A and B are shown apart, each in its own frame.
Chain A
Amino acid sequence: MIKDITIGQYFNGKSVLHRLDARMKIILTVVFIVSIFLCQNFWSLGLMVLFTLMTVIVSGVPFKMVLRSIKPIAIIVTFTSLINIFYVRGGTSLVDWRFIHITTNGVFTALFMATRIVCLVVISSMLTYTTTPTMLTDAIEKLLSPLKIFKIPVSTLAMMMTLALRFIPTLVDEIDRITNAQKARGANLDDGNFVQRIKALVPIIVPLFVSSIRRAVELADAMDCRCYTGGPGRTRMKQMKFHLRDFASLFVILVLIAGIVVLNYYFGAVLVK
């Protein structure tokens, strides 16, 4: 159950997306998210959907895994769609019965919103599926490094993020282990009222904290022993380099934006002001 969390979940693969530079992937993701809000009609939106599907196919990540990343947002999508359908006004009226008024604008907005959110989540999860957490934090550090001018300790923050991500699976394993050990002693975690359930967590949380603190101290000592000081002047074992494919991917995204603009212009906006 607890294993289902998908933060920073990486899908091992060898696709072109996996090999793209992590920095470029972050930039592309941001650009994509912005451009998805540029779409004004179903043609340009369709182009976006097509592009998203292509990305999934190229990445080699199974559709089942991609669907799993959408599942948690299904409720939000349904909810916003319903609100949009019933409350957005404008365009031609479709239903006008007592207090229920549904217009074309409402339906279109709902469709647009739902598609946008799904594409957005799928594309962002493609980023985490094809990039290891370490590469991701390295890239974020590189992209944020201009902030060093303002005395923001970017590399320290990045190190903290790397460590936090690194220890998520370890902690999940640990929780599983401790839970099992207490269950073996008859701990009852699934029954009882609210207060009882909270109390039942004590035998799990205390050992978890104890071992986390122990682990943190050990880690700090290990880093000290290797003379880790952080700060400026640290170089990386794996230097990030832009390759031809990175520029090519940037080009693809630019073509996509151009396509959206053209389609928007050519077919006009679907929402009536």
Chain B
Amino acid sequence: MPVLSMKGVTHLYNKGTPSQSKAIDNINLDIEEGELVGIIGHTGSGKSTLVQHFNGILKPESGKIFVDGTDIWSSKKATREARFKVGLCFQYPEYQLFEETVYKDISFGPKNMGLNEEEIQKRVLLAAKYVGLQQELLEKSPFDLSGGEKRRAAIAGVIAMQPKVLILDEPTAGLDPVGRDKILDMIKAYREKTGSTVLLVSHSMEDVAKIATKVLVMNDAHIEMYGTVDEVYSHSEKLREIGLNIPQVSKVFEILNKKGLNLGSAYTVEKAAELILSKGGAAV
């Protein structure tokens, strides 16, 4: 049974006004447990709208959403359960911090779940460890952290609820390359350790290639493709057509392949290096 599932979901913004727009249109989607799904698509293609349906933040105009087989709008209880089963971290989550200390802020979610002090403490410390926040930062005010630390504190606030599915909406937006890699490594490690399902919305096809097991491509409110990294990235023409930029290395490899060096295809620098070292020598 898929852990997340959508059946014919459509969402309208500004319904009934002149600026009404369909942000996602008749989406059917199944996501299996344990998958790390990268969601890509051009600006405004509906990625954020799509993911905000999984924990009931947005209510669809039509269609049904299932988490663990339960229709999340079937009852008030089901909606609230979905909130905790599916942890959603919004774009620029650092603007949601509000408590006096980082520790208290991370414990906001677990507290809302009604856990006891002991359990809360355990979860906060564990979450802080996952995102790589040092112990001494926990007693600081969240407003005194650096941008990257704030981002990590906010992500920890979601992880601390120990959701079955973790959804991150552009967690690396606006960070420098080092900060970006740190977050990506953290996500990968988190998934490996906890075995949870992760959805990662991203603009960078390279980031997605680095860690995702599956890729979902959104285009103009529709799902354009959904498959493994290799399946999706091999359609480079199509991807370019819908305004996505395939990774730099892939472009280089395409050119090399055209020139007669049969190197195969690579989507990350690491994979490229590997391929060149193994096959490249023979080909040249």
Using a CB–CB cutoff of 8 Å, the interface residues on chain A facing chain B are 3, 11-12, 177-178, 180-188, 202-204, 206-207, 210-211
Contact = CB atoms under 8 A, between A and B. Distances in A.
Contact of B96 (A3, A178, A186, A202): A178
Contact of A188 (B18, B95, B112): B112
Given A203-B98, A207-B98, A186 B83 contact: yes
Contacts of B250: none
B88 A187 contact: no
Contacts, number: 58
A180 B98 contact: no
A207 B83 contact: no
B90 A177 contact: yes
B95 A177 contact: yes
20 contacts: A12-B18, A181-B90, A183-B57, A184-B57, A184-B88, A185-B108, A185-B112, A185-B157, A185-B161, A186-B83, A186-B84, A186-B108, A186-B113, A186-B161, A187-B112, A188-B112, A204-B98, A207-B95, A207-B98, A210-B143
Interface string B122-137: 0000000000000000
B158 interface: yes
A218 to B, nearest CB: 14
B41 interface: no
Question: Which bucket holds chain B's interface residue count?
Answer: 20 to 34
A186 B108 CA distance: 8
B158 A184 contact: yes
B52 interface: yes
A3 B57 CA distance: 16
Interface of B: 14, 18, 52, 55, 57, 80, 83-84, 87-90, 93, 95-98, 108-109, 112-113, 143, 157-158, 161
Contact of B112 (A186, A204, A207): A186
Contacts of A178: 95-96
A217 B93 CA distance: 21
Q: Which 7 A-B pairs have the closest CB atoms?
A: A186-B112, A206-B98, A181-B96, A185-B109, A184-B88, A203-B98, A181-B90
Given A178-B96, A181-B93, A185-B157, 13 more contacts: A177-B95, A181-B96, A182-B96, A184-B55, A184-B158, A185-B109, A185-B112, A185-B161, A186-B83, A186-B112, A186-B113, A203-B96, A210-B98
A202 B98 contact: yes
Given A178-B96, A203-B108, A206-B98, A183 B83 contact: yes
